[in-house]
Structures are given as C-alpha cells and as structure tokens.
Chain A
Amino acid sequence: MQSDYDAIVIGAGVGGSNVAAELAAAGWRCLVIEAGRYYSRLDSPRGELDGNAKLFWHGGLELNRSASIAMLRARVVGGGSIVNQALLDEFDSVALDDWRKRTGLQWLSETGMAPWYTRARGALHIQPVSEVHANRNAQLFRQGFEACGYGCATLQRGQSGCRHEEGNDCIECLYGCRLDSKQSTPLTSLQAALKSGAKLLTECEVETVSEEAGQVTVRARLANGQPQVFRAGQLVLAAGTLGSNALLMRSGWGARLPVLGQGYYCHPQFMYFARYREPVNAQRGPFQAYKSDEPTFRAQGFKLENVFSPPIGTALLLPGLGRDHQISMAAMRHYACIEVAVRDTHPGRISLAAGGRLCIDKELDKEDKRRATAGYQAVRNVFRATGAEAILPGRFGIGLHLMGGLRFARRPEEGCVAGDYRLFGSQRIHVADASLFPSAPGINPSLTIMALARRLGCQMAEAA
C-alpha cells in the first residue's frame, strides 16, 4: 500500500506542527504522523494518574541510566505543548552566540532569529501571567526575591485567557487545557496546518525511515498493530529529541552519523518544597507566575521559577517513607515550591539498549553540580526570607527540556545536521525539533523550536 505525499512530518508536537503549518500553507501535500492520540478539551484526561498514563511514553517517567533524572516525554497530538506550561521566551545573545560559535551558522543570532520569532508568535496568543490572581506560592516567591534583592519577572505564557475569576486552577491543565486557553498546537499551528489541508494520522508509531533515489520511505505500525508504509518526497523528523534520535538509530543511521545521539542536554530541574505555618494553597489559580530575572543567576548557569506539582509528583519527590511520608503529604497545602533549572554544560548521550529500548546516559558533572548547588542556595535564601519552617528537597531531578543528539554542526564529526536542517549525507531528511540544539540554552526552548521549525518550513517551500 502506498500513500504519496510531498512531505511526511513525524511528530505533531511543537516542531512538527509549525513545519506542517508552513508546508501546508504553501500547498504541499503533507502528512503528519503522531504516535499519540488526539484529545480535545472535552475528553482530555482528568487528573494526574490518567494524564501520566495517556499523555506520556510509558506512563510518565523515563529515567537516565543511573535513575537520578526523570525525563518527561509527551506522546499525544500536540506533544510537549499539551503538557507544558507554555512559557514562551526568546533566546538571548548568551544562548545564540554560543550556538553560532559552535556551528558557524551566522543566522543563529538575535537579529537572524527575530523574523522567525515574530512569525512563530504571530500564530498564537502570548499573555503575561495575571499578577492579580497570583497565588500565595507566587507571592512568597516574589516577596523572597525582593527581600534577597534578586530580580524577578512575570512569566510570559502562551494563553488566551484562563478565567481565574471563575475559579480555574491551571495545575489541572498539565494534562491538557480544558479552557482552550493554553496555546497548544492543536489550537494554533496544527489547526492551521489541517485547515490548509494537511493530513494527520494519530496513534501510529514510526518504526524506521529510509531514503532512496527520489523519495523517502516511512515504515510505521498502526494502532491495530498492522504495518503501514508511506512514501513521500521529503521527510521532517520532529518526534522530539528522544524520539527522533531513537528513530534514526533504529533506521541504521548510526553508521553514517558518527556522533548520533551525542550532545544530549535536558535542563535538569530540581524542586524544593518549603513548609509554611499558614496554608499556601499552591494548587490554586495560575500554576506559575514568576521567574528569576537576575543576571548573576544567568551568569552562574541557573534560573528559578515558582512552581508546584500535583499530588503524585509531590509524593514521589518528598523524602520519607510510610507514616512520615504520608504526614508530609497531608501537609501538602502548606507547601510552597521553587525549582532550580540548571543550564547543563556536561553533555549526555542517547543510545539504544538491546531490545531497542532507549538508554539515556546523562549525569551532572562538577560544573553542573556547582550550578545546581548555587541555585539551591538562592532558593534557601528566598524560603528563609519568607519564614519557611522547613525545606524539603526533591528526591530526583527532572528533565523537562530534552535537547540535542542531532545537533546543527559544520561537519559530521561535530553534529548530525547541516545548516539547511538536512542530515549530513541526506537530500530529503530534515530535522525540526529540539534535537537540533547544539547546547543547552538555559531558557525555555518552546518558542525557539517554533521559530526554527517555521524557518525550515519556509525554506523547504521556497526551495520547491
């Protein structure tokens, strides 16, 4: 069975949706293949248990080899944009200059990226998180920052109105926003792509991709387990960092791309809870409101955000066992929480274990640990300044921003993808997700993935 398309995009997440929007708008016959299901606000999972089970690969947690960092990898139409907090920031010169230096790509600069950021922003609503409705968790963060003399800023979020005055708590939207406020791709770029005629196949797992003269072949498996083969003129890999890397390894590209899977970063995040005498009720209102805006933190390689986690996540993070742990959980409403996000410098590596399972080698080296510790000290200062009774460090790190492995580079010895987004040695296979990132930027990657994907989409459409 053959299906003929001008382009196949693997992954309906942030990267894939934005490429598809550009290609479909340019009249390309485009097929987007997604392993996960489509959920609308009517049927998105209610609650953390079903959210983890239905929206993530293998039920929520994928661990590094030493089981010290849990990676969160979405598997749903909309990808990360369904389960993230839609914090949309442009990269600064610190991040882009490093990329330019590593890759030699001159357009990786604030001015070079500006039109693409504009194009990406143009497809969605961005609002500052409402300070009026900021909950006590956010207020403590801000008070602590003021007391310590640290700079902080309101978060910019892809949302169209969360109606907090009607009693909506955004922590519920971690499993898909029931208010259609969070600007996930099914509401924005993917919707535009479908309106322009793109096809979308859900619950279909791609097993291998290959390139022949004149076309690419995608071998996939449908939800019923039946194999299905698709052929197209061009291929865009946007299965997310772990997905795209694993797919190329399964397809035998390891032999042609010597550093495939290397240079993996994940912005390890460490959550710290603090107990207060009065209830904090961090579950209410906007999930997050503030981030650090402090040049000294940026220079030291970390940032802080006020954050929280729903009960299952909190239970896994809190120390203790049995009764002690349950007593800690019963006090959940008295906790505030701050996360330290480390701009990691020590690259990890993605590989396939026997049996085809992903294997992630990712550790913090001395420098990264120093960054995490510096972050923790700042957190401690903030909590202490606001009268916290106790500080409870989270038991493990979390990788929310999975990046690298198919880095932009000058040469195949340094990375996997050339400046035109094509794999070295390939005419037809492009990459459009965070696996392109040459290093960890230390800034939320979502908006930059959109901008890079938009740029690729336009470039492909123009070349045709």
Chain B
Amino acid sequence: MMRYEPQAYQCCTAASVYYSARQLHGLNRLGDCYCPGVAGLPCFSASGAALDIDRLAHAMHPQDRADFGLLLDMAARLPSPLLSLLLRLFNQAETFRFAPLRLARLGTAGVVYSLYYGFAGPGGAQVRNGLGWDAAIRTVLPGEPPMNQLVRDAAPNLAPDADEVVAVFKRARNAHLDIAALSLKQRLAVLDNLCQVIVRRRAEIIARVTEETGKCASDALLGEIFAVIDNLEYLRRHACKVLADRKMPTPLAMLGKQSRVWYEPLGTILVIAPWNYPFYQAIVPISIAFAAGNAVVHKPSEFTPLRGLIESILAEAGFAPDWAQVVYGTGSVGATCLAQRPDKLFFTGSVATGKKVMAQAADLLVPVELELGGKDAMLVFADSNLERSVAGAMWGAFTNTGQSCTSIERCYVERPLYDRFLALLVSQTRKLTLGTSSDHDIGTMTTPTQIEIVRAHLADALAKGATQHTGQDWDGQSAAIPPIVLSNVTHEMCVMQEESFGPFLPVMPFDSEAEAITLANQTIYGLSACVWSGDKARAERVARQLKVGNVSINNHMITEGNHALPFGGAKQSGIGRFKGEEGLRGFCNVKAVMVDGNSAKIEANWYPFTTAKYEALDKMTVASRIRGLGGIIRFALAGLPLEQLANKLGKQGRQR
C-alpha cells in the first residue's frame, strides 16, 4: 500500500486559493485516517483528492471554511497517534450526543469523503473502479434546450440608467485629477501590486473566465493571465522611458530655443471590450491607460461581464474605486457612456459595431481607436518545415476556439507541399480534445450568435463544394464545436471572406509567390498574417507586400505576444495602434513644447512687415534649404541682417 509522502505534495501550494500547503498537508493526514487504503482502493493522499479541495471549499459557508482551516492546521501538526485518537473520538460522536463532536465528525468526514468518494483528483478513476461505480447517463440528447434562450432573454435589465452613467463619468473626471497627482513611479507601483494580485488569484480568475467564456483552462492561463502579466511587466520596465519628456531637434532658424514633447494624460478613457478575452481586454487597456495617467471607464461585453471580478482585483491592488470603474450592460449602455464625451474611446469588437461606434464618436469628435476583426491568412511555402507549420496552423486557427481576432482563418499552401500538409493537418486535428479542463485542447464557443455564424459558414462552404475533413459529428448547435478542416474552398465562400470566429481552418493551394500575395490581400480585412518559409529573404519579401498591421514569419500571433510591439489593423481591421510605445502614447495628450528665452529680441517673423524685411525674408527662405557647409554660410549671411533689421524695426516701430 502506498503511504503518504509529504514532500510529494509540495505542488499543493498552488492547489487551493483557500488553504495553504500546510493545511492541505493536514487534509492529507486527516484523509489517510479516514481512507487508509484497502485492496482496490488507494489511500486518500495517494488519490490526490486533496488537490480538488476548492471545488468544495468555494461552496462552503465562509465561517465553516475558516473553521475547517483551523482543523486542518491542527491536523497538520498533531502527532499521528493523537490524530487517530481524535478521529476515533469523533467517530463515537453519536454515542456521546455532544453536538460539537458530531459537527467535527461530519465536517471532517464530509470533506474527506466528498473528495475521495466524489472521485476527485488524479486517482478518482481508481476509486470509482474500486467501488464498481458504473452509474451513467448514456443517452445524449441533441441540440440546445429551448429554456437556455428563454433564460437569457428573461434576464431583467439591470443596466445603469443615463443618470448613473453621468455620475460615473463625473467621478472619473474627478479621479483623473487624483491620478494625475501621482508620479509615474507611484502609478507603476500600483500596477506592480496588480501583477502580484493577479498571480495570486489566478486560479479564481481562470475559473471565472472559463465559466463565462467556455474556453479551456490552458487558453485562459495563456491568453488571460500570462499575457496580462507580460503586459504589466512591459509597463514596469519601459513606461518610464516611453513617457519621459522628449527632447526634439530644433531647426537652425530657431537657434537658441528648446524643443520638447511631453506625454500627458488625456483624462478619461472609455474602454468597450469584447467577450473573447474578457479579463485581458479589461486589465490591459486599463493598465496602459492608467500608466499614462488616465481614469478609465470599462464596459465589458454583456456576454462575459465577470461581474465584480475586475473591481475586486483592482481594489486589492490599491486602485481607488473611481480610478477605473466598470459599467455593465449591452451596446446601448456603451452608447450612453460614449455620449459623456470621454477623452478617448478604445473599442475592440466587430467591424459592424466599430462603424456604429465611430459614427457616434464622429458626431462628438471623440477620438477613437478601433481594434476590429480579421481574416488572417497563413501562407505556407513548400520549403517550410511540415510538422512545425502544421502544428502552428492548428494552434493559430483553433486557439481560444478560433474566437480570436488574429486567429488564422485562411491557410494557403504552396502546391508541392499541399497534399502532405493537408493530410498531416487532418490527422493531427483529429487528435485534439474538446473540453474546458486543463487536460483539453479546445474549449467551447462563448455566444449563441457566433455558433450560428459558424454553422452558416459551414453550410455555405459545403453547399458550394467544400470538403469537410474533420468535425462531421457536430450537430450545428452545440457550443462544443470540434475543429473543422476544410479543403476545396474558393474565395466565393463566406468562410474565405467573412470573419468566422470559430474553430475553422480552410486550406487552399497556391502556385506562385505573386498568387499567394494576391490571395492573402483579397479581403476587406488587414489585421495580421503569417508567412512560413525556409527562405528568410522570400518570407520578408512576401511579408512586406501584405496589407496588414502585424505579420509573423514562421510563427503566428507572436507580434501580439510581444508587448513592446504595436498592435492594430490595416484596412477595415481598425484604426490606431495599441500597446508598445505607440499604445502608451496613444493614451496621451502628446504635447508639443518650445521654450524661448526671456530676451529683448524681436523675432524676424513678427510685425512690422516692410518691403526691406520682405526681401530679407525671401533670401532667408531660399537659404533655409541648407546643404553642407556652404549652405550654413549662405543661411548665416541671409539670417544675420534679417535679425538686425527685425530688431531695429521692432523697437522703432513702422516709420510713418
């Protein structure tokens, strides 16, 4: 029989957001008293059931959770004979009729048995088999129950009314003054706290995100936690430099003056966020805008509001409540927010909504940054590494269940490689697993509308002659859409023209470099693209001809992964650049400053204008095209008399 080795459970540190590693050690000791292991059934600690404690702990009454923590502390410290004596005492609870004893027995046995006989942890299957527990529901009913839509539609409108939105912006404007009073270093210290809070609470964040989006745990960890930390790390290291006052060149004609650019806060930034990365799309714009000294009003998607989570994380990091406020609701709430004239709108979403938002902003002259959709192309040349490009294609297309604006939506493969590429892609795609746990590759879709678009694109492609290689068992309704590889596709199909935002990968052959470029550019979108080739020069040549905001060579989406690079789209994929230097400065009022001396000097271009001065200015204009030493001499020869004349005229005034 395997005995419990405490050192094997060091990994427990990260297993619970409620209990410490030491308390989990106590749980394992307690568990091994209740379930010491018999033939066919492992002992509690060997089953690893303790690792799943949070599945239970989050539902417990806070008082019980705390009390149980004390019991676990005790169980971690008590010598074994005393611990087993104590449990034997608990076990006599019924005879003693002493309520606290019964409570202790039900509490401890309740948690241990719930985890162990609830088949938690890696050893759960072994316990299930040991009991011969074979109860199951084997019938799988097709489609989504009609009640789901009814429940969604029945949600009462709790959106804030216009008065509340007005109050939110009033508070934001006041908060902006407080934020502006902080030094950049102080703001970055708050963001550093934020980073720590996110790392500490990552399990909770991932649970909320996977619950609301349906994405798999790994997508949530990478896309929502890792990427957010990376961004905060970029700000910590580089924001001071990027936002520092800049000295700019001063032309010779302005000799003696100083030129500067100051990066000042804009004031209040309105962030309207999408549902595909609800945590990332909240924290990243909030943190960049805050680093630049702005107050933020954040409106998350009504599909993935993460109600309360962002506020709670920010508050713990030391954000005052009004520095970044969250307003919940649908698009109409977004419109009410925009009507408050924020100093800038940062919008991420679809092209269609982007157009509406920009139209409203145009009326108010609110500057906008739009991060819209894409139809990203992958160009694979025949000299690419086959395994790498196939693996890259799968991840690029299916990550976040394809619900990423920069996921690969079209794959073009040079003909000599095409058949082998497709065959390997299909066989590898079939191995991908669906589900939301950390052991799954692809999560579920987030919104019913998007499921319907995927269904419609698939039906359209199949009707126009496409071949479907994988995912044929999808019922057209379930949110768990298997990855779908298509071939025999044409540019007449929706799946090659419109953003699908689902786990699709249509593959099409090409014959020449020129054809590849034409095909890739044949779209209204221009977000990102990737070029795969063993020939670096060719890859760069092709990459330069793609009309997109971001391009990766022999990889995909890594420009987005590097927070020092700007992110944004060309063509209808958006306006403006986010992240990196451009992004930080995008949330700034870029203020141009020139400093001149407090001298007696009268400038040449000031009044009065006379014919003599006109002629001197004319000479000066010609001379100001300075080339080489001769140019400088000519410029000085024209400039000095002009300066004297200007001074004289300026002090005497026009002679009447």
Contacts and interface: CB of A to CB of B under 8 A. Distances in A.
Interface of A: 1, 3, 31, 38, 40-42, 47-50, 52-54, 56, 58-61, 63, 65-68, 70, 77, 163, 166-169, 171-173, 178-180, 186-187, 191, 194-195, 198-202, 222-226, 228, 279, 283-284, 310-312, 314-316, 320-323, 325-327, 329-330, 332-333, 355, 357, 395-396
Given A63-B106, A224-B308, A330-B131, A312 B55 contact: no
Number of chain B interface residues as a range: 35 or more
Given A180-B141, A312-B114, A323 B38 contact: yes
Contacts of B99: 65-67
Nearest to B214: A43
Contacts of A330: 38-41, 130-131
B534 interface: no
Contacts of A40: 144-145, 147-148
Nearest to B145: A40
Interface in B113-171: 113-120, 130-139, 141, 144-148, 150-151, 153-158, 160-161, 164
A224 B59 contact: no
A179 B136 CA distance: 11
A226 B38 CA distance: 49
A316 B150 contact: no
Given A58-B59, A325-B34, A355-B63, 13 more contacts: A1-B160, A3-B158, A52-B59, A56-B59, A60-B114, A63-B103, A169-B135, A171-B135, A186-B147, A191-B146, A202-B151, A314-B117, A326-B41
Interface string B295-321: 000000000010111011000000000
Contacts of B147: 40, 186-187, 191, 194
Nearest to B49: A49
A284 B134 contact: yes
Contacts of A61: 106, 110
Contacts of A322: 33-36, 84, 87
B135 A172 contact: yes
B109 interface: yes
Contact of A316 (B113, B135, B479): B113
Contacts of B479: 42
A168 B41 contact: no
Given A67-B102, A323-B38, A315 B135 contact: no
Contacts of B155: 199-202
B103 A326 contact: no
Contact of A41 (B34, B55, B106, B141): B141
A68 B105 CA distance: 11
B61 interface: yes
17 contacts: A1-B160, A3-B156, A40-B144, A49-B119, A54-B59, A58-B60, A58-B61, A59-B64, A63-B102, A67-B106, A171-B135, A222-B308, A321-B33, A325-B34, A329-B41, A329-B117, A396-B94
Given A67-B99, A168-B139, A283-B134, A42 B154 contact: no
A49 B58 CA distance: 12
B118 A326 contact: no
Nearest to A191: B147
Best-surrounded residue of B113, B137, B157, B309 (most CB of chain A within 10 A): B137
A224 B307 contact: yes
Interface string B448-489: 000000000000000000000000000000110000000000
B37 interface: yes
Given A167-B138, A202-B151, A321 B91 contact: yes
A133 to B, nearest CB: 13
Contacts of A323: 36, 38
Query: Lowest 7 CB-CB distances: which A-B pairs, in order?
Result: A224-B308, A49-B118, A224-B307, A67-B102, A311-B117, A53-B59, A315-B113
Contacts of B136: 167-169, 172
A42 B480 CA distance: 10
Interface string B27-66: 0000001111111110000000000100110111101100
B97 interface: yes
B88 interface: yes
A38 B151 contact: yes
A31 B158 CA distance: 12
Given A58-B59, A315-B117, A316-B109, A179 B38 contact: no
B137 A179 contact: yes
B29 to A, nearest CB: 13
Contacts of B133: 283, 311, 332
Nearest to B54: A53
Nearest to B160: A1
Interface of B: 33-41, 52, 55-56, 58-61, 63-64, 84, 87-88, 91, 93-94, 97, 99, 102-103, 106, 109-110, 113-120, 130-139, 141, 144-148, 150-151, 153-158, 160-161, 164, 305, 307-309, 311-312, 478-479
A194 B151 CA distance: 7
Contact of A312 (B118, B130, B141): B118
Nearest to B128: A311
A195 B150 contact: yes
B141 A47 contact: no
B113 A312 contact: yes
A42 B145 contact: yes
B34 A53 contact: no
A194 B154 contact: yes
Contacts of B103: 63, 67
Nearest to B326: A224
A326 B37 contact: yes
B145 A180 contact: yes
A458 to B, nearest CB: 22
A41 B60 contact: no
A59 B135 contact: no
A427 to B, nearest CB: 24
A275 to B, nearest CB: 14
A311 B61 contact: no
Contacts of B93: 67
Contacts of B141: 41, 178-180
A159 to B, nearest CB: 13
Contacts of B52: 49
Contacts of B63: 355, 357
Given A47-B118, A222-B158, A316-B110, A53 B311 contact: no
Residue in A1, A54, A314 with the greatest tally of chain B CB atoms within 10 Å = A1
Contacts of B41: 326, 329-330
Contacts of A228: 158
Contacts of A326: 35-38, 41
B360 to A, nearest CB: 24
Given A1-B160, A68-B102, A49 B115 contact: yes
B316 to A, nearest CB: 13
A53 B55 contact: yes
Nearest to A311: B117
Contact of A224 (B110, B114, B156, B311): B311
Given A49-B120, A58-B61, A396-B106, A1 B137 contact: no
A438 to B, nearest CB: 29
A50 B102 contact: no
Contacts of B144: 40, 42
B131 A49 contact: no
Nearest to A355: B63
Contacts of A59: 56, 59-61, 64, 114
B585 to A, nearest CB: 33
Contact of B154 (A1, A53, A199): A199
B110 A66 contact: no
A58 to B, nearest CB: 4
A77 B147 CA distance: 12
Contact of B137 (A52, A60, A178, A198): A178
